Structure 1
Amino acid sequence: MSDNRFKIVFDGALLPGVESTTAKLNLAELFKSSVEDIEKLFTGRPVALKRDLSRPDAETYLTALKNAGIDARIEAEQPVAFSLAETHETDSGAADFSRPAASPYAPPRATVGENLPEYAELKVFTINGRIGRLRYLAWTLVLTVAMLVAAGIISTVGFAIATASPTIAIILGSLLGFALFVALVVVSVQIGVQRLHDLGWSGWLYLLNLVPLVNSIFPLLLLVLPGNAGANQYGAPPPRNSTAVKVLASLWLAFIPLMLIIVVSLGMNGYLDQLESNVDSSYESSSITSDEDADQSVIVEEEDAQSADEAAEPVDSPEEQ
């Protein structure tokens, strides 16, 4: 073995702020092993997690371990003149993690460092995994646009069927609308839970959206609070944001004002229609009142004329009588 080879050594130390349970879960996921086997590493004795590495490979493994909360280190391999497999000994009392061992105090059997994922795999339709703030915005925008398109298609189909059979149109529209609502809720919960996992929070906290007043603040926290930089109990961090994610997230800056303009326009149109309706009603009421007043004036004039005629009739004198 040459002098330019290195190994990854771990003696049970963790990075500041990382809980032991979280670190063990991260290691179990990275090493594809069970938590019970991983616990055998936390004895306080140095353990060689990976041997015979070049310097760049050692740095790669060390970065992945630090993302999992493990405070490991790189040490240079020392040349030996005997076979580790035959003597079952390691320098400095370290055990070879990449070689199976029968001792109950030996490291797990899983090969370490062969496929240490730096980032988690993205899955949309699941409550497992993690997503960051920008990806949460991007996925939410896609979900919103898809919902609007689906609602438009359902409305168009409903109007087309209503011309033939209004009853069928109402039933079909109600069923499709309910299915769209259920799909929207399910996907929204899945995306929201993954965002909570990125913060290191339980997905059950998504139920806070059902609490009055809290549901007006809680969604803002999901958009503002940054996620955990490294791995947490819900897995490795999500991949870096792609250009598509950044573009979709930035489209919210245009989508939100557009929706506000549409809502304000609809509100103004409704207000103007109501105002016009009130003006028409007032005009009709004034016209009816004017007609009634005119009719009353005509009646009064007729009565005055009749009284004048009665007053003008001659009265017989006593002599004529």
Structure 2
Amino acid sequence: MSDNRFKIVFDGALLPGVESTTAKLNLAELFKSDVEAIEKLFTGRPVALKRDLSRSDAETYLTALKNAGVDARIESEQPVAFSLAEAHETDSGASDLSRPAASPYAPPRAAVGDDLPEFATLNAFTIHGRIGRLRYLAWTLVLTVALLVASGIIATASFAVATASPTAGVILGSLLGFALFVALVWVSVQIGVQRLHDLGWSGWLYLLNLVPFVNSIFPLLLLVLPGNTGANQYGAPPPRNSTAVKVLASLWLAFIPLMLIIVLALGMNGYLDQLEANVDSSYESSSINADDDTDQSVIVEEEDTQSADEAAEPVDSPEQ
């Protein structure tokens, strides 16, 4: 009578609070393997990590796996029944000698992870998937150009309606502008979340753009930090950058300094206009003060003349 045998089964589940990247690194160290081979175990399908174990050995393996952060389980091996009829039938049948005989206790030979694609599928209108730095720049440039074109169309339509009815033009422009703003925010969030996934970060970190001072640094991190080279907890890596992506990213990188120059030029023009207005205001004030001084001097001269005339009048003598 033989003892019951057990196997360790893993279906990709992790213990609460354990990151996927940490668990993969721990498993790679435990099995003395590389991370790419371990990633093939995280497909969601049950995989027998170890077979033909006694109960005590299975408990030991299970403890080591739980320490690595994975939620594995112990299952009983299915007993194999042999019969003489099946054996005779197998021996008499045609056999393929080039293929080794399958053992019920052999490790699984299925290519675990074949369902995992080499590259992720690109889709700008989703919060799933990953995109790299250059593709993030390219998609942002396309979004900006689309925003400018849509804004021009809305302004033209609103002006055309306002010529007939100003109130209708204002209402139409406000509604279309609000719809455009919502669409812009929605697509921007989706693209930003995919960029965060490429870094291995949670998409909720995109809310840091709402924090003062942080929102001036956080977008730069999305442009500078490189993504994970292989698959991470958010899926396979993005495809390689095409020529169009590289060209658009280069245009955007050239567009950013141009925008800075335009902003600085506008600011300088505003400063010069303000300075000129202050100079004109000071000149007008000085002119008004000079006019006031002239008027006062004229009044004083008139008073002095009047006093002199009064003094020059003859005085009647007593004899008269």
> 1:122 offset after TM fit, Å?
0.7
**SS in structure 2 opposite 1:41?**
strand
Give percent identity, aligned residues only: 73
> 1:15 offset after TM fit, Å?
4.5
Alignment of structure 1 residues 7-156 onto 2, 5 Å = 13=31, 15-16=33-34, 23-25=40-42, 28=43, 35=44, 37-38=45-46, 40-43=47-50, 82-83=95-96, 89-90=102-103, 93-97=106-110, 113=114, 117-156=117-156
Separation of aligned partners in 2, 1:44 and 1:252? 55
1:206 maps onto 2:206 in alignment = yes
Separation of aligned partners in 1, 2:116 and 2:40? 14
Separation of aligned partners in 2, 1:215 and 1:42? 45
Alignment of structure 1 residues 237-316 onto 2, 5 Å = 237-316=237-316
Separation of aligned partners in 1, 2:179 and 2:101? 63
8 Å Cα contact 2:51-2:105 kept in structure 1 = no
Separation of aligned partners in 2, 1:169 and 1:15? 67
> 1:18 offset after TM fit, Å?
7.2
TM-score, with length taken from structure 2: 0.68
1:196 is matched with 196
| Gapped regions of structure 2 (runs ≥ 5) | 1-27, 53-93
Alignment of structure 1 residues 210-221 onto 2, 5 Å = 210-221=210-221
2:15 is matched with none
Per-residue CA deviation, residues 181-222 of structure 1 (Å, 9 max, x unaligned), is: 111111111001111111111111111222222222222221
Shift of the 171–215 alpha-carbon distance from structure 1 to 2, 3 Å rule, reads same
Separation of aligned partners in 2, 1:250 and 1:203? 26
**SS in structure 1 opposite 2:117?**
coil
- The one-letter code sitting in structure 2 at the alignment partner of 1:43 is K
8 Å Cα contact 2:36-2:230 kept in structure 1 = no
Shift of the 19–288 alpha-carbon distance from structure 1 to 2, 3 Å rule, reads farther
| Gapped regions of structure 1 (runs ≥ 5) | 1-10, 29-34, 46-80, 99-106
Per-residue CA deviation, residues 280-312 of structure 1 (Å, 9 max, x unaligned), is: 333333332222222222211111111101111
Per-residue CA deviation, residues 41-86 of structure 1 (Å, 9 max, x unaligned), is: 32268xxxxxxxxxxxxxxxxxxxxxxxxxxxxxxxxxxx8359xx
Shift of the 279–161 alpha-carbon distance from structure 1 to 2, 3 Å rule, reads farther
CA RMSD of aligned residues (A): 3.1
**SS in structure 1 opposite 2:236?**
coil
Say how many residue pairs are matched.
250
**SS in structure 1 opposite 2:274?**
helix
**SS in structure 2 opposite 1:43?**
strand
Separation of aligned partners in 2, 1:19 and 1:316? 133
- The one-letter code sitting in structure 2 at the alignment partner of 1:214 is V
**SS in structure 2 opposite 1:93?**
coil
**SS in structure 2 opposite 1:42?**
strand
Shift of the 221–266 alpha-carbon distance from structure 1 to 2, 3 Å rule, reads same
8 Å Cα contact 2:127-2:190 kept in structure 1 = yes
> 1:96 offset after TM fit, Å?
4.7
